[in-house]
Amino acid sequence: MKMPQLLDAYRCAEELEEVADCLAVDVDTLLARIDALTTDERDQLVALYRETEHGC
């Protein structure tokens, strides 16, 4: 999955299961992708989390 897809899925999902469902992957695959994030990608995800307070 590409970073824009990951960020879009995180924008409204509140649980990892929801994010995984939005991306049509299982939670283990999602976690593997999160573990493989670059520093820049991780910073983008953290910024989104802070911006949305993790939820729409």
- Asked if residue 15 has pLDDT above 80, the reply is yes
Residue entry with tokens 């299982």:
26
Separation in Å, CA 16 to CA 22, 42 = 10, 16
Average pLDDT of 28-51? 95
**Cα–Cα distance measured from residue 50 to residue 32, given in angstroms and rounded to the nearest whole number:** 22
Give, as one character, the DSSP assignment of residue 40: H
Q: How far apart are the first and last CA of the chain?
A: 22
- State pTM to two decimals: 0.83
- Asked if residue 42 has pLDDT above 60, the reply is yes
55: left (phi over 0), alpha (psi -120 to 50) or beta: left
